[in-house]
Copies of this chain bind each other. A is one copy, B any other.
Amino acid sequence: MAFKRIAESTVRRLSLYLSYLEGLNGTDPSTVSSEILAGLVGTTSAQVRKDLSFFGSFGKRGLGYSIVELRDSLRDILGLDRTWQVCIVGAGKIGVALAQYPGFGTKGFHIAAVYDSDPAKIGTFWDSLTVRDVRQLRDDAAHERFDIGVIAVPADAAQSVVDTLVAAGVKALMNFAPAQITTPSDVIVRTVNMALEFEGLSFALAHRSA
């Protein structure tokens, strides 16, 4: 099924619902109301019902949603019911942080390969993986099926890494480099950059008309 029309904001809310449900344990009740989910994400219970109705029929009027069922369904909807092969380019701090990120592996993101251009890093162990030469990336990506490429290289190297991954057929990229990257329209890109976010706050604070 293709859900092309689903807004990014809806997907974010689905992730937030799931994150909440995964934090619940056996001592909690077995159902959750749309009101509780709504409060958590700062929306209305009508919006919660609408978000979920895109994907089928959940919950019973007046009884709420079964936590176990809704959790499984959300995992399924979010594509977390399978394993995605992730390749990280740049064996630096961000890559390490990612590998140690709680729940990253258990959520179905499997780090299949790590690359770097630094001869001092290539060939060293990185958890159970050996850091590979980034010059191998093009060949490797052509026969290993990487689903997601993580760009964790300096800004001026980012676009060439992106181009290599795209040429090898990788359709989803997570960009941690402090650079805007350009890709064909069928490649999905997300960006995480803490420095940019903090500087956005700083800019806004500095220019408040107070």
Contacts and interface: CB of A to CB of B under 8 A. Distances in A.
Interface residues of A, number: 72
Nearest to A179: B40
A181 to B, nearest CB: 6
A97 interface: yes
A203 B16 contact: no
A180 B102 contact: no
Interface string A166-210: 000001111000111110000010111011111111111111110
Nearest to A176: B194
When all copies of this chain in the complex are counted, the total is 2
A79 B207 contact: yes
A203 B148 CA distance: 12
A142 interface: no
B107 A198 contact: yes
Interface string A130-145: 0000000000000000
Interface of A: 1-4, 6, 8, 11-16, 18-20, 23, 39-43, 77-80, 82, 84, 93, 97-98, 101-104, 107-109, 147-148, 154-156, 159, 171-174, 178-182, 188, 190-192, 194-209
